[in-house]
Amino acid sequence: MAASEGVLRFGPYRLIPDRRLLTCLDQPVPLSGRPFDLLVALVERRDRIVSKDELKSLVWPHAAVVEDHTLVVTLAAVRKALGSDQGTAKLVGTIPGRGYRFLGQVQAGDLGDERIAPGPSGIRATSSHLPTPPDRLVGREDDIATLLGRLPQTRLITLLGPGGIGKTRLAIGLAEEAVRHYPDGVWFVELAPLRDPRLVVETIGAMFGLANQAGRPACEVMTTFLRRKQLLLVLDNCEHLAEEIARLAEAITTSCPTVTLLVTSRERLSIAGEFTFQVPALATPDSRLPVAVEDAMRFSAVRLFVDRAASVLGSFALTAETAPLVAEICRRLDGLALAIELAVAGLELLKPADLLSHLDARFRLSIGGGGRSAQPRHQTLRATIDWSYDLLSGRERILLRRMSIFAGSFTVASAGAVAMDAAGEPLELIHLMLGLVDKSLVVPLPDAGGERRFRLLESTRAYGLEKLDADERTRCLECLVDHLIGRYKQGEVLWPTTATDAWREAYEADLENLRAALEWAFATDGDAARGLELVGHTQELWFETQLVSEQRRWLEIAEMKVDETTPPAILARLRLAAGRSAHMGGRQHLESSLQALDLFRQTDEPLYTAIALSQVGKMLLRPGDVAEAEPYLREGVARLRAVGPTKFLVLALGIMVGMYWFANDIDGARAHLEEAHDLALGFGDARQLEFAAAVLAELDFAAGRREEAIARARAVQAACRMRGSTVSLATVSSNLAGYLVAIGDAAGGREVAGEALRLALALGANAWVMNCFQHLALAAAIDREPVRAARLAGYSDAYFRAEHRTRQPNERSLWLDLSARLEQALSPAELARLLAEGAAWSEEDAVAVALAG
């Protein structure tokens, strides 16, 4: 798109096209990809109406064909971002038959110094993390009003109802209305694709940026993190995980007093404090009374039918002839929202009278002929899907069945991988997909700027799986695994030179499909060899998504499947992943890393040989003892330089920084850090840029430039809050607390250390936890509280002794300062007694004392 004005201001919003940034009241608004381009196109042409065709050419300049529904979905994402909570619901107007126009009053100006305020601790600065619905919510105004009245007085609300009643759409609508009441935002988790209850808490934690690094109980990690947050957490489609959700909900409502849970399920959780709301069917006219047009539109089911029909046909209005027919269709469908939407798709082929006739025939077959044990509304939905399925061509049926193998979303290419023999040529596959989209059987997801993705509704997916026989299911799963192996092999190749956010956006989208593929591959009737290959090529995905515990489980399963036929290249990757450690000097997985190194040398893979060398060196590296690690690290970096610039070289240079620093060579450390920083900047790797800036603050502090270290650490803190980088935020906050107490700012150090301690506890990052206790002990010593300081010091020091860990240089200097103050304030006997008392504390005891007062 053309070059844009510096900053465009309208109402509370600031649009900065060159930065691809939209803010509201100085807070970033989550809008990117095609929706962002669409907003820029409309705002820049605010003096006139912009036609559909012009918008398509501006936003999708290289696309041969852009369907109208794609534009509608993209526009819905823009309207959602410009939400009604700021009184801006009509910023984008629709001019029937002509196009769209931006209606806001815009002031254009220079970029200047646009400020973006940091968000709440450990949470992204944006407030809404909800999916973008493809259509507007119809007929739920009274339900939302009722539930909004319950939210302030209820910690757990469960929306109950059968599949297709509209629970998910109601939950999203309610959360959109409630967002202003939750300073730390509203968060949405789709649980339908999950089958393993153990993944529930870990999946939610990954959304918040939590990586459980020390094997702490997952529920404890979650509640520790959420304890001081004020947010609404929406858990969608929970019935198949009800026991685990109930345990989590009980823990959150007990331990996190300002967190509210909104759950959708077909069954109640049955725990204390739960408020259940039975989602009603949409209202339909009474069959005993005549139906006039104006009467029919008072009923929410009819309004939904008319709204969706207008979307399908371009325009649709009730007439005296069609009003009774539409009313009867809605009655036959029991007011089920999903059934109505599926039926409306038939209007492309049938008039309302014919649609009613076809539904009657299908209902007599599907309901009247049997299945009396099912609930009536489940029978209705099943009959509607049966009817929709019968209208499909043979190839459309095959494609729909085979796409049900996807547990998550998928692309056209992915669909082709499991069904190409049914679809024929790629262009025919696209034609079949568009047909299923038009019939509301496949849902297009909002365009985020990458490859377009689709999904099946859970009811449609379950139906499709029923239609797959055992042989066809096995063939589809084999095709899915092979497709994902190829996809993640490609991801493995691209990761070293691709910006982290872009890579993660591209490959995280298949996470649910990956889980389903691995579950099948490692089952008794699966294919373990394929499973091993898939685990071997996905280690960067687990690293980027911070699902460390889940990766460990898959690695443990994979280890049991390894045999003499496992290819050395795959075994090497499994060993490398099993040996990965977050901390320098962590030797518990050293043997696995050494095995990986030997195998990569044998298979002659220069890049991965270099990676393994750096990983071994990292494990051997300890403050004051670099001799054992140095040859591995130097060889690893030399080999990576020979390969060329990669993110692996950035990581290896970061380890070299530690080596020089531990050897007290600050200049050498700074030189390698600057090289790592410049490389990370070239790759747009925000995580490594945060790391480099945090380490630079550490080097400033070590060199005596304490004020510079504090200023730099505060800047990194703000950046981490902006990105939601919880791990980096915990690290830099722990460091900053040490800097502050070192200059005598006990109050400031205590405040920052308390924040860092809560985050580190949630992450299970024990080394950072103990550093926080040490900083709090020094703050107490500065405030002339030697008894409290000595006990906290004893608790912290006991960890380092038990784990045989050496403090890093800055923590070591602060420990010496703390020790000197305690020795001056206390007698040797009294100091020894207090240190021993602290060493005997439980974590609960230590946290209570550390955070008191």
Instruction: Indicate if the pLDDT at residue 308 is higher than 50.
Output: yes
Q: Model confidence over 528-578: pLDDT tens digits?
A: 999 999 999 999 999 888 787 888 899 999 999 999 999 999 999 999 999
CB 316 within 8 A of CB 346: no
Q: What is the average pLDDT score of the chain?
A: 85
Can you give the pLDDT at residue 113?
Answer: 43
Instruction: Indicate if the pLDDT at residue 290 is higher than 50.
Output: yes
Exposed e or buried b for every residue in 186-200, given b needs 16+ CB within 10 A? Answer: bbbbbbbbbeeeebb
Can you give the pLDDT at residue 362?
Answer: 59
Instruction: Indicate if the pLDDT at residue 760 is higher than 60.
Output: yes
Q: Model confidence over 333-361: pLDDT tens digits?
A: 888 888 888 888 888 878 899 888 877 66
Q: How many CA atoms lie within 13 A of 671 on its CB side?
A: 6
Mean per-residue pLDDT, 152-176: 90
Q: Model confidence over 40-53: pLDDT tens digits?
A: 999 988 888 888 88
Taking the CA atoms of residue 123, residue 124, residue 127 and residue 130 in that order, the dihedral angle to the nearest 10 degrees is: -100
Mean per-residue pLDDT, 371-392: 67
pLDDT top residue among 820 and 664: 820
Size of the chain in residues: 853
Query: Tokens 């420990």 belong to which residue?
Result: 815
Using alpha carbons, list the distances in angstroms from residue 97 to 55, 59, 164, 348.
Answer: 14, 20, 33, 20
pLDDT top residue among 657 and 499: 657
User: Rounded distance, CA 312 to CA 275, Å?
Assistant: 37
Reported as a pLDDT band with limits 50, 70 and 90, residue 491 is very high
Reported as a pLDDT band with limits 50, 70 and 90, residue 374 is very low
Can you give the pLDDT at residue 622?
Answer: 83
Instruction: Indicate if the pLDDT at residue 633 is higher than 60.
Output: yes
Q: Model confidence over 399-439: pLDDT tens digits?
A: 999 999 999 999 988 998 988 665 456 667 888 888 888 77
Reported as a pLDDT band with limits 50, 70 and 90, residue 66 is low
Indicate yes or no: pTM above 0.75: no
Instruction: Indicate if the pLDDT at residue 104 is higher than 90.
Output: no
The 10 Å Cβ neighbour count of residue 24 is: 19
- Continuous segment of H or E residues that includes residue 9: strand 7-10
CB 50 within 8 A of CB 41: yes
User: Rounded distance, CA 832 to CA 814, Å?
Assistant: 19
Query: Judging by beta carbons within 10 Å of its beta carbon (0-12, 13-18, 19+), is residue 287 exposed, middle or buried?
Result: exposed
Q: How many CA atoms lie within 13 A of 108 on its CB side?
A: 9
Q: How many CA atoms lie within 13 A of 849 on its CB side?
A: 25
